[in-house]
Amino acid sequence: MDFEYLVLVIGMGIVTYIPRLIPILVLSQRELPRWLVQWLDYIPAAILSALIFPALLTSGDPRTVVVISPEVLVAIPTVIIACKTRSLAGTVISGMALYWLAQRFFL
Protein backbone atom coordinates (compact mmCIF):
# COMPACT_ATOMS: atom_id res chain seq x y z
CA MET A 1 0.00 0.00 0.00
CA ASP A 2 1.36 3.40 -0.90
CA PHE A 3 1.95 5.98 1.81
CA GLU A 4 -0.40 8.42 0.05
CA TYR A 5 -3.29 5.96 0.29
CA LEU A 6 -2.64 5.42 3.97
CA VAL A 7 -2.65 9.18 4.58
CA LEU A 8 -5.83 9.48 2.49
CA VAL A 9 -7.65 6.79 4.48
CA ILE A 10 -6.55 8.25 7.81
CA GLY A 11 -7.57 11.74 6.66
CA MET A 12 -11.01 10.50 5.57
CA GLY A 13 -11.45 8.83 8.95
CA ILE A 14 -10.56 12.03 10.78
CA VAL A 15 -12.84 14.15 8.61
CA THR A 16 -15.70 11.71 9.23
CA TYR A 17 -15.06 11.30 12.96
CA ILE A 18 -14.59 14.93 14.04
CA PRO A 19 -18.07 16.22 13.01
CA ARG A 20 -19.56 13.39 15.06
CA LEU A 21 -17.29 13.83 18.04
CA ILE A 22 -17.63 17.59 18.55
CA PRO A 23 -21.43 17.61 19.19
CA ILE A 24 -21.08 14.65 21.53
CA LEU A 25 -18.39 16.39 23.56
CA VAL A 26 -20.20 19.74 23.63
CA LEU A 27 -23.78 18.55 24.17
CA SER A 28 -23.24 15.56 26.46
CA GLN A 29 -22.55 17.83 29.44
CA ARG A 30 -25.65 20.00 28.91
CA GLU A 31 -29.34 19.57 29.50
CA LEU A 32 -31.04 20.22 26.17
CA PRO A 33 -34.42 21.98 26.02
CA ARG A 34 -37.34 19.62 25.54
CA TRP A 35 -38.37 21.31 22.25
CA LEU A 36 -34.88 20.70 20.82
CA VAL A 37 -34.89 17.03 21.80
CA GLN A 38 -38.33 16.61 20.19
CA TRP A 39 -37.13 18.43 17.08
CA LEU A 40 -34.03 16.21 16.84
CA ASP A 41 -36.27 13.14 16.88
CA TYR A 42 -37.51 14.10 13.39
CA ILE A 43 -34.05 14.23 11.79
CA PRO A 44 -33.70 10.48 10.97
CA ALA A 45 -37.09 10.42 9.24
CA ALA A 46 -36.28 13.59 7.31
CA ILE A 47 -32.93 12.23 6.14
CA LEU A 48 -34.45 8.91 5.13
CA SER A 49 -37.21 10.69 3.21
CA ALA A 50 -34.68 12.93 1.47
CA LEU A 51 -32.79 9.84 0.33
CA ILE A 52 -35.74 7.68 -0.69
CA PHE A 53 -38.32 9.98 -2.28
CA PRO A 54 -36.19 11.41 -5.12
CA ALA A 55 -35.10 7.92 -6.12
CA LEU A 56 -38.65 6.61 -5.80
CA LEU A 57 -40.56 9.39 -7.52
CA THR A 58 -38.19 10.59 -10.28
CA SER A 59 -36.44 8.96 -13.21
CA GLY A 60 -34.59 9.72 -16.42
CA ASP A 61 -32.14 12.39 -17.44
CA PRO A 62 -33.20 15.15 -16.93
CA ARG A 63 -35.09 14.00 -13.85
CA THR A 64 -38.85 13.93 -14.29
CA VAL A 65 -41.55 13.09 -11.78
CA VAL A 66 -43.00 9.60 -12.20
CA VAL A 67 -46.02 8.92 -10.01
CA ILE A 68 -46.83 5.41 -11.22
CA SER A 69 -43.86 3.07 -11.40
CA PRO A 70 -43.09 -0.43 -10.16
CA GLU A 71 -41.08 1.07 -7.32
CA VAL A 72 -44.02 3.18 -6.13
CA LEU A 73 -46.43 0.27 -6.46
CA VAL A 74 -44.11 -1.86 -4.33
CA ALA A 75 -43.41 0.91 -1.81
CA ILE A 76 -47.08 1.36 -0.87
CA PRO A 77 -47.70 -2.17 0.47
CA THR A 78 -44.20 -2.23 1.96
CA VAL A 79 -44.96 0.89 4.02
CA ILE A 80 -48.25 -0.65 5.13
CA ILE A 81 -46.43 -3.82 6.19
CA ALA A 82 -43.85 -1.73 8.06
CA CYS A 83 -46.56 0.18 9.93
CA LYS A 84 -48.50 -2.97 10.82
CA THR A 85 -45.61 -5.21 11.87
CA ARG A 86 -43.02 -2.68 13.15
CA SER A 87 -40.43 -5.24 12.07
CA LEU A 88 -37.37 -4.12 10.14
CA ALA A 89 -36.55 -7.63 8.96
CA GLY A 90 -40.14 -8.32 7.93
CA THR A 91 -40.35 -5.03 6.07
CA VAL A 92 -37.09 -5.58 4.19
CA ILE A 93 -37.94 -9.17 3.26
CA SER A 94 -41.48 -8.33 2.16
CA GLY A 95 -40.28 -5.30 0.20
CA MET A 96 -37.65 -7.36 -1.59
CA ALA A 97 -40.17 -10.10 -2.33
CA LEU A 98 -42.73 -7.62 -3.64
CA TYR A 99 -40.11 -5.92 -5.81
CA TRP A 100 -39.03 -9.30 -7.20
CA LEU A 101 -42.66 -10.17 -7.98
CA ALA A 102 -43.23 -6.79 -9.64
CA GLN A 103 -40.19 -7.21 -11.88
CA ARG A 104 -41.06 -10.81 -12.69
CA PHE A 105 -44.71 -10.32 -13.58
CA PHE A 106 -45.21 -6.67 -14.47
CA LEU A 107 -42.08 -5.62 -16.34
**Measured between alpha carbons, how far is 33 from 18 in angstroms, rounded to an integer?**
24
Lowest-confidence region among 4-8, 19-23, 70-74, 89-93: 70-74
CA distance readout (Å), 71 to 25, 32, 106: 41, 40, 11
Short-list 60, 59, 73, CA closest to 105: 73
Give the pLDDT score at 12: 97
Query: How does residue 1 score in pLDDT terms, banded at 50, 70 and 90?
Result: low
Please check the confidence at residue 59 and state whether its pLDDT lies above 80.
Answer: yes
Short-list 45, 46, 50, 107, CA closest to 74: 107
For the chain, the average pLDDT equals: 91
The predicted model scores a pTM of 0.60
**Measured between alpha carbons, how far is 22 from 16 in angstroms, rounded to an integer?**
11
Rg (CA), the chain: 20
**Measured between alpha carbons, how far is 38 from 98 in angstroms, rounded to an integer?**
34
